[in-house]
Amino acid sequence: MGIVSPGFRRRRRDDDVQLPPGQYLTEDFPVLSAGPTPNIPLDRWEFVIASETGQEYRWTWDELQELPAEEPTVDIHCVTKWSKLGTSWRGVSLDLLMEDVETTADYALAHSYGGYTTNLPLEDLLDGKAWIVYEYEGSELAPQHGGPARLLVPHLYFWKSAKWVRGLQLQEFDELGFWESVGYHDYGDPWREQRYAGD
Amino acid sequence: MSPRLEWRVATLAGVRQETPTALTLLLDVPGWPGHVPGQHVDVRLTDEDGYSTQRSYSLAAPADGDRVELTVQRVKGGEVSEYLTDTFSVGDPVELRGPVGGWFVWHPSRTAPVLLVAGGSGIVPLMAMIRARRQARSRAPFRLIHSVRSPSDQYYASELRRATRDEGGLDIATVYTRSAPTGSARPPRRIGPADLELYGWPPQFEPTCYVCGPTGFVEKVANTLVGLGHDPRRIRTERFGPTGD
Ligand SMILES: Cc1cc2nc3c(=O)[nH]c(=O)nc-3n(C[C@H](O)[C@H](O)[C@H](O)COP(=O)(O)OP(=O)(O)OC[C@H]3O[C@@H](n4cnc5c(N)ncnc54)[C@H](O)[C@@H]3O)c2cc1C
């Protein structure tokens, strides 16, 4: 437990909700990105899952829209300490996208337009735990929040929910992504406060 | 496996008032491992009931033994920033851990031109870069564009004035969003493409651009730089918070 800060008094009253350690509640939707927001024309957009054998599975924007959508309402937790509760999204479950993919890989490296990457165990993308989303709170997903489409993996810190997602590379080994290779945690479970490497 | 970043107990050794609402905290952190300009720390406050909360603050100066500097802008009603600027006193302890972040950093061995664009307190990590440049006697061409509300909101004003006079290759421009000094040719307004063209580097010089400040500011400046022809891969951003100028 931390040492007491002399004279510090709690201002925020988030006690009716259970937040991961070190997180505070926000009503805004702050933004965290390493660089500028890319501009991605929909007629050139595609999402590609590449298996460890090199086989590729592709969806254009229109094809993605035609797939049955889900509307998850989830809590999100950013490593910069804010949490936002009850956010609602619309998109396609990764279970559906992975349905016909032949793989024995254990890991996925998500790639984004603009060059961003993040790594996850493949099992964290399956069983109703992850989506490719293109709507937020009933409107199309704004570019600064990852539009046209982003990965949504709400049980991990939000940097794992790659904005501007372009594809998944499935592989047998764990390859560190962008933030993971500059000191952030490999897995990023907010409930175990896995912010930084070694946590 | 990297070692865990441990919580350390720092002691406030002194303060410097930077603006009417921003304070630099001089902290002694025994065993501080050192850091690279641009990195930040996490600060943790705990009350008597055991409630604790964390925020990030950028390191304002390069590593100097056990001494670490943070500059905190007081946010009205802010749980942590009001404590740090109003209540926290010399001799008091505070917990912090770091350094954190290995992307929004500048290594003094780099020689490529650098463009720094700051909105308000977003200057803090960029000031660490300017100070590291001086310390390393680097000649890397540096330009800083600082957007502030009014002349009284200028951080590090006298140090930056001295730096432009004494340090070759460092240019500094201040743009005002609410009120400009009397006699200034530019009317107060938000930063725009003309400011970034006039005070920045042409994209052909291939500068590394560091943009820091409130989310909206960073979003706008980064997009404008891309629009002016800067390669997005050379633009690094750090967003401090939801609102602000
Ligand atoms: C990587 C990183 C580095 C940072 N470095 C610095 C730094 O060097 N100096 C510094 O002063 N701050 C810095 N910040 C911001 C800092 O972490 C806090 O968010 C800020 O001090 C407000 O915290 P608070 O507890 O006072 O306000 P809170 O109690 O969290 O919020 C109170 C109100 O203020 C609003 N608010 C929250 N943050 C800001 C903000 N940044 N600007 C304006 N309004 C806000 C909230 O929406 C809320 O309505 C940094 C943030 C990040 C993510």
DSSP state of B233: G
User: Domain range spanning residue A151?
Assistant: 33-69+89-192
Do B50 and B154 lie in one domain? The reply is no
| pLDDT (tens digit per residue) in A5-57 | 999 998 877 666 789 999 998 877 766 777 778 888 999 999 999 999 999 99
Please judge whether A33 and B239 are an interchain contact, meaning their C-beta atoms are less than 8 angstroms apart: yes
DSSP state of B228: T
Chain B closest-CA separation from residue A185 CA (Å):
10
Do B119 and B64 lie in one domain? The reply is no
| pLDDT (tens digit per residue) in B33-72 | 999 999 999 999 999 998 999 999 999 999 899 999 999 9
Do B119 and B183 lie in one domain? The reply is yes
Question: What's the number of domains chain B is made of?
Answer: 2
| pLDDT (tens digit per residue) in A114-150 | 999 999 999 999 999 999 999 999 999 999 899 999 9
What's the CATH code of the domain at B183?
3.40.50.80
Please judge whether B222 and A36 are an interchain contact, meaning their C-beta atoms are less than 8 angstroms apart: yes
For chain B, residues with pLDDT lower than 50 are: 244-245
Q: What is the mean pLDDT of residues A77-100?
A: 95
- Pairwise CA distance, residues A197 & A199, whole Å: 6
What's the CATH code of the domain at B17?
2.40.30.10
Do B160 and B211 lie in one domain? The reply is yes
- Residue whose Cα lies nearest atom 28 of ligand 1: it is B78
pLDDT of B245: 38
Q: What ipTM goes with this model?
A: 0.81
Do B87 and B49 lie in one domain? The reply is yes
In a domain, B211, yes or no: yes
Chain A closest-CA separation from residue B192 CA (Å):
16
Which token pair is B53? Answer: 């909360």
Distances in whole angstroms, Cα of residue B215 to Cα of each of A31, B113, B117, B238:
6, 25, 13, 8
Do B96 and B132 lie in one domain? The reply is no
In a domain, B200, yes or no: yes
**C-beta of residue B233 within 8 angstroms of C-beta of residue B176:** no
In a domain, B3, yes or no: no
Point out the ligand 1 atom lying closest to the alpha carbon of residue B56. 17
Asked if pLDDT for residue A76 goes beyond 80, the answer is yes
User: Domain range spanning residue B92?
Assistant: 8-100
Global pTM value:
0.90
Largest CA-CA distance found in chain A, in angstroms, rounded: 61
What's the CATH code of the domain at A130?
3.90.420.10
Higher pLDDT, B1 or A105: A105
Please judge whether B101 and A5 are an interchain contact, meaning their C-beta atoms are less than 8 angstroms apart: no
Distances in whole angstroms, Cα of residue B176 to Cα of each of B97, B146, B147:
34, 8, 6
Ligand 1 centroid – CA A46 distance (Å): 36
Q: Tell me which chain A residues have a C-beta less than 8 angstroms from the C-beta of B226.
A: 36
